[in-house]
């Protein structure tokens, strides 16, 4: 009897210990993942901030007015401190990375000094511009190296926990891509002796507001279904499902989805007037048969079929046999950046894969266009004289305060970079300067 | 005797035919395809365009097969110098002018691209050391193989896209395509929102923000579809209706999330403000 009780108690204890051990193991894993995530975050943020830093320094080179330069330097200063704190959070204690940190604080010091100085009275000297150029190319090298390391780390699922272990065991032969990468970064800085994502302005409004241009009658579900049959080009309603949006939606709409064996399609349609706000078609895409240029014509025709007139092609890009186009509304040769529409075309057979008109219906109104008060020639004088202006347009953009302003838009080249510069057409204020990229070395091909 | 003569004649005919064929294949290798090449295009035609422009001294960037800004300005300058309409499009007339004015040796250019990445001086180098032998090269390459760059949306790197694709795949791999785009759009809406971090990595790795990050599922290798969804979201598609939160009603543990104004349901996820 006693024996049985003993066996019972012991086996209970055994099960208990097992359970406890399992719980401990689970917790340890959870904490490991959390620590890993913190490292990963700092690492990815570091490379992002370096990229942005490089971009911002590059943009500075094309700026002219002090009203723009001072805030820009402040932005760079902020970015260097962000990047520095990212470096500080990485387990690089045993890896010599101080040159890079010095480099970062050097940029910080330089930009801080120039930011607080009154640039009106003492503008940038030639030496300082030279220093800026040097910082630009150096930070470009670092950025490329870091992006490369990041690519390898993402591709091979490298863990910072392993880096930490590798660094903690100096006896073992260290063969770790991350460590090697950081050493290369450090090397590229040794030769040196002495900002929020600026994603494109297009379609971005700083404050959300009501949709301004949804006209027409309210439609019911059946009408919406009929319309979508036409848009999706299907005969029956069997594979269509429709749902109404909830109270949190910016605007009341129907969401219609369709699928068959080959593809699925999805559309948001406004209840007011039944305008398609967003269409997405997903299917496998074969090798290119038509060119990006032919695709643009298809996209343009498609817009016309929805009575979206006066839209001019603004940008086109080819990604994996898909052409992505953005169009801007054009009124009397003034292009309106906030009234943007995007179209996606499959380049294998020219089918439309997507449409996004949210920005258009949100921002478009009948505008009362004013005449510019200064001439294009006067506006050009406001642009940094080092920039070689190649193209000019009149445009309406949202400025930093979220107001629509009429601007001269200049596309210009400085060294090997292209910049888009907006000068206010009323008072000559330098509203925005953007460095344009849009292409990148294919890391995967290396 | 006559038999030998006939054989000899046949051989001559064969050889000359082979020669003709060789010649015609050289010609086809050196010509653009039919398409009008425009900004944003990718592929062999762009490599040829860049090489020819570089040969003439208009283009001094890398021959990478992606029609970016550098190529655009080079083309416009070419059109300007040759008195053509300046539109930045390589149409038939422009291509004809280019072919007439420059030489292009596809085998040489592509061999260089494949060997080293920094290939920026076509036309300016002495090439006597490497006699061009088009027949030795294999023109049977799949299009785009030599392209060494990619288009990325303004302000994003491939790595940012990859990281977001990881997150989307970990969070929504079982969801319909529009559901994946919506999840990617939520990440972007958060980057733009003042109440969340300002970087993709900041938003994704914010503690307790995404379950896929907390349990390590983010490190599954994403498929092509997830990447495409992220690209669509970056390029302006937002099926979530401007949402900054979403949850799965079957597994959600927080009662707070139910108090958010809901926008819509896609697949298993409810998207809300």
* pLDDT number for residue B169: 92
Is residue A315, in this structure, part of any structural domain at all? yes
Which of A302, A329, A363 terminates a domain? The answer is A363
Residue for token pair 């969340």: B196
Looking at residues A334-362, what average pLDDT do you find? 89
Interval B182-209: pLDDT, tens:
999 999 988 888 778 888 888 888 877 8
3-state SS assignment for residue A289:
coil
Are the Cβ atoms of B237 and A354 closer than 8 angstroms? yes
What is the complex's ipTM, to 2 decimals?
0.74
Residues of A in contact with B163 (CB under 8 A): 44, 154
**Could you say which DSSP state residue A207 is in?**
S
Longest dimension (CA), chain B: 102
* Domain co-membership, A46 together with A181: yes
Which of A317, A339, A363 terminates a domain? The answer is A363
* Domain co-membership, A261 together with A116: no
Which of A335, A363, A391 terminates a domain? The answer is A363
Nearest to B242 among A200, A250, A315 (CB): A250
Q: Rounded to an integer, what distance in angstroms lies between the CA atom of residue A233 and that of residue A223?
A: 15
Is residue A102, in this structure, part of any structural domain at all? yes
The residues, any chain, with a CB within 8 Å of residue A109's CB and separated by 6 or more, are: none
Is residue B147, in this structure, part of any structural domain at all? yes
Q: How confident is the model at residue B4 (pLDDT cuts 50, 70, 90)?
A: low
Are the Cβ atoms of A291 and B215 closer than 8 angstroms? no
Q: What domain range is B179 assigned to?
A: 158-272
* pLDDT number for residue A219: 85
Going by their DSSP bridges, the two strands A430-436 and A439-441 should be labelled as unpaired
Beta bridge partners of A329: A311, A336
CATH number, position A415: 3.10.450
State percent of chain B over pLDDT 70: 76
Is residue B172, in this structure, part of any structural domain at all? yes
The residues, any chain, with a CB within 8 Å of residue A173's CB and separated by 6 or more, are: none
Interval A430-440: pLDDT, tens:
888 888 877 77
**Smallest Cα distance from A282 to chain B, Å:** 7
* Domain co-membership, A322 together with A397: no
Is residue A211, in this structure, part of any structural domain at all? no
* Domain co-membership, B72 together with B163: no
Nearest to A280 among B143, B178, B199 (CB): B178
Q: Rounded to an integer, what distance in angstroms lies between the CA atom of residue A110 and that of residue A87?
A: 20
* Domain co-membership, B190 together with B252: yes
Residues of B in contact with A34 (CB under 8 A): 207, 214
Domain count, chain B: 2
Nearest to A293 among B36, B225, B241 (CB): B36
Residues of A in contact with B177 (CB under 8 A): 264, 266, 280, 282
Using alpha carbons, select from A331, A322, A392 the residue that is nearest to residue A363.
A331
Looking at residues A195-206, what average pLDDT do you find? 39
* Comparison of pLDDT for B220 and A198, the residue scoring more: B220
* pLDDT number for residue A15: 93
Domain count, chain A: 3
The answer to whether residue B20 scores a pLDDT higher than 50 is no
* Domain co-membership, A239 together with A342: yes
Q: Which range has the worst mean pLDDT, A99-103, A250-254, A272-276, B201-205?
A: A99-103
* Domain co-membership, B191 together with B250: yes
The answer to whether residue A101 scores a pLDDT higher than 90 is no
Is residue A213, in this structure, part of any structural domain at all? no
Are the Cβ atoms of B153 and A253 closer than 8 angstroms? no
Determine the residue among A279, A293, A339 to mutate to test chain B binding: the one whose Cβ has the most chain B Cβ atoms within 10 Å: A293
Is residue A55, in this structure, part of any structural domain at all? yes
**Smallest Cα distance from B54 to chain A, Å:** 14
The residues, any chain, with a CB within 8 Å of residue B151's CB and separated by 6 or more, are: A317, A318, A319, A438, A439, B40, B42, B66
Is residue A9, in this structure, part of any structural domain at all? yes
Is residue B7, in this structure, part of any structural domain at all? no
Using alpha carbons, select from B166, B112, B170, B111 the residue that is nearest to residue B141.
B111
Longest dimension (CA), chain A: 106
* Domain co-membership, A12 together with A135: yes
What token pair was written down for B140? 């049977």
Q: Which range has the worst mean pLDDT, A97-101, A369-373, B47-51, B88-92?
A: A97-101
3-state SS assignment for residue B153:
coil
How far from chain centre, in Å, is Cα B14? 43
Q: How confident is the model at residue A169 (pLDDT cuts 50, 70, 90)?
A: low
* Domain co-membership, B166 together with B115: no
Q: What domain range is A254 assigned to?
A: 221-363
* Domain co-membership, B266 together with B192: yes
Determine the residue among B65, B153, B154, B213 to mutate to test chain A binding: the one whose Cβ has the most chain A Cβ atoms within 10 Å: B154
Contacts 24+ apart (CB under 8 A), A264-271: A264/B176, A264/B177, A264/B178, A265/A232, A266/B176, A266/B177, A266/B178, A266/B239, A267/A228, A267/A231, A267/A232, A268/B239, A268/B241, A269/A224, A269/A227, A269/A228, A270/A211, A270/A214, A270/A361, A271/A218, A271/A219, A271/A224, A271/A244
Is residue B55, in this structure, part of any structural domain at all? yes
Left (φ > 0), alpha (ψ -120 to 50) or beta: where does B267 sit?
Answer: left
Is residue A204, in this structure, part of any structural domain at all? no
Is residue A212, in this structure, part of any structural domain at all? no
Are the Cβ atoms of A246 and B37 closer than 8 angstroms? no
Angle at B112 between CA B109 and CA B118, to 5 degrees: 110
The answer to whether residue B21 scores a pLDDT higher than 50 is no
**Smallest Cα distance from B21 to chain A, Å:** 27
**Mean pLDDT of all residues belonging to chain A:** 83
Is residue B73, in this structure, part of any structural domain at all? yes
* Domain co-membership, A354 together with A395: no
* Domain co-membership, A181 together with A293: no
* Domain co-membership, B188 together with B114: no
Q: How far is CA A48 from CA A147, A196, A251, A357, B102, in A?
A: 8, 10, 34, 30, 41
* Domain co-membership, A327 together with A252: yes
Q: Where are the alpha helices (DSSP H) in A89-176?
A: 98-116, 126-155, 160-168
* Domain co-membership, B172 together with B223: yes
* Domain co-membership, A169 together with A307: no
With beta carbons less than 8 A apart as the criterion, state whether B106 and B48 touch: yes
Is residue B23, in this structure, part of any structural domain at all? no
* Domain co-membership, A146 together with A13: yes
Beta bridge partners of A316: A325
3-state SS assignment for residue A208:
coil
What token pair was written down for B254? 């927080």
* Domain co-membership, A114 together with A257: no
Using alpha carbons, select from B235, B169, B142 the residue that is nearest to residue A345.
B235
Looking at residues B238-264, what average pLDDT do you find? 85
The answer to whether residue A319 scores a pLDDT higher than 80 is yes
What token pair was written down for A321? 């046999």
Nearest to A247 among B89, B231, B262 (CB): B262
* Domain co-membership, B179 together with B226: yes
Determine the residue among A29, A35, A44, A251 to mutate to test chain B binding: the one whose Cβ has the most chain B Cβ atoms within 10 Å: A44
* Domain co-membership, A157 together with A12: yes
Interval A294-318: pLDDT, tens:
999 999 999 998 888 889 898 888 8
CATH number, position B79: 1.10.101.10
């Amino acid at each position: 009897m006693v024996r049985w009780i003993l066996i019972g108690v012991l086996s209970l204890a055994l099960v208990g210990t097992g359970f406890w051990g399992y719980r401990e193991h689970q917790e340890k894993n959870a904490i490991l993942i959390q620590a890993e995530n913190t490292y990963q975050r700092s690492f990815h943020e570091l490379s992002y901030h370096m990229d942005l830093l490089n971009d911002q320094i590059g943009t500075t080179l094309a700026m002219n007015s002090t009203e723009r330069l001072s805030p820009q330097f402040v932005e760079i200063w902020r970015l260097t401190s962000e990047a520095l704190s990212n470096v500080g959070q990485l387990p690089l204690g045993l890896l010599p990375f101080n040159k890079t940190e010095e480099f970062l604080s050097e940029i910080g010091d330089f930009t801080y000094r120039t930011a607080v100085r009154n640039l009106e009275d003492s503008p940038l000297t030639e030496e300082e511009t030279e220093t800026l150029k040097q910082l630009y190319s150096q930070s470009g090298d670092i950025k490329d190296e870091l992006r490369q390391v990041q690519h390898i780390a993402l591709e091979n699922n490298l863990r910072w926990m392993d880096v930490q272990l590798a660094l903690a065991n100096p006896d073992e032969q260290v063969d770790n891509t991350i460590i090697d990468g950081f050493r290369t970064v450090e090397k590229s800085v040794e030769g040196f002796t002495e900002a929020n994502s600026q994603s494109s302005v297009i379609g971005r409004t700083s404050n959300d507001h009501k949709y301004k241009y949804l006209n027409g009658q309210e439609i019911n579900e059946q009408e919406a279904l009929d319309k979508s049959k036409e848009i999706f080009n299907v005969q029956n309603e069997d594979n269509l499902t429709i749902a109404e949006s909830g109270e949190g939606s910016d605007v009341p709409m129907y969401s219609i989805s369709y699928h068959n064996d080959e593809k699925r399609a999805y559309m948001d349609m406004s209840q007011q007037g039944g305008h398609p706000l967003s269409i997405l078609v997903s299917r496998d895409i074969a090798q290119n048969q038509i060119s990006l240029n032919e695709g643009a014509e298809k996209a343009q025709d498609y817009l016309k079929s929805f009575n979206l007139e006066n839209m001019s092609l603004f940008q086109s890009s080819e990604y994996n046999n898909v052409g992505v186009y953005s169009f801007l509304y054009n009124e009397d040769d003034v292009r309106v950046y906030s009234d943007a529409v995007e179209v996606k075309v499959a380049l294998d057979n020219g089918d439309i894969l997507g449409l996004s008109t949210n920005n258009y219906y949100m921002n478009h109104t009948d505008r009362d266009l004013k005449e510019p008060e200064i001439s294009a020639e006067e506006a050009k004088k406001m642009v940094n004289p080092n920039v070689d202006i190649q193209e000019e347009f009149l445009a309406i953009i949202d400025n930093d305060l979220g107001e629509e302003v009429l601007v001269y838009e200049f596309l210009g080249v400085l060294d090997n970079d292209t910049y888009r510069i907006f000068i206010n057409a009323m008072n000559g204020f330098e509203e925005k300067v953007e460095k344009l990229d849009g292409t990148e070395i294919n890391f995967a091909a290396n | 005797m006559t038999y030998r003569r006939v054989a000899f004649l046949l051989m001559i005919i064969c050889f000359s035919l082979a020669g003709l064929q060789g010649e015609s294949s050289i010609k086809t290798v050196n010509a653009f395809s039919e398409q009008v090449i425009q900004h944003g295009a990718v592929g062999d035609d762009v490599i040829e365009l860049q090489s020819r422009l570089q040969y003439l001294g208009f283009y001094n960037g890398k021959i990478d097969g992606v029609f970016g800004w550098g190529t655009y300005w080079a083309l416009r300058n070419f059109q300007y110098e040759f008195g053509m309409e300046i539109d930045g499009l390589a149409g038939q007339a422009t291509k004809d002018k280019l072919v007439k004015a420059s030489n292009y040796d596809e085998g040489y250019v592509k061999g260089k691209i494949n060997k080293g990445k920094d290939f920026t001086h076509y036309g300016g180098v002495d090439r006597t050391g490497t006699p061009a032998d088009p027949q030795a090269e294999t023109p049977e390459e799949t299009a785009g193989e030599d392209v060494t760059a990619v288009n990325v949306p303004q302000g994003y790197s491939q790595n940012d896209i990859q990281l977001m694709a990881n997150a989307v795949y970990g969070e929504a791999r079982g969801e319909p395509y529009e559901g994946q785009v919506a999840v990617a759009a939520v990440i972007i809406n958060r980057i733009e929102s003042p109440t969340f971090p300002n970087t993709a990595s900041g938003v994704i790795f914010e503690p307790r923000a995404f379950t896929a990050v907390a349990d390590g599922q983010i490190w599954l290798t994403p498929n092509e579809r997830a990447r495409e969804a992220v690209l669509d979201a970056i390029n302006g598609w937002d099926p979530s209706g401007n949402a900054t939160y979403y949850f799965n009603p079957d597994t959600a543990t927080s009662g707070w999330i139910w108090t958010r104004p809901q926008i819509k349901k896609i697949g298993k996820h409810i998207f809300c403000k």
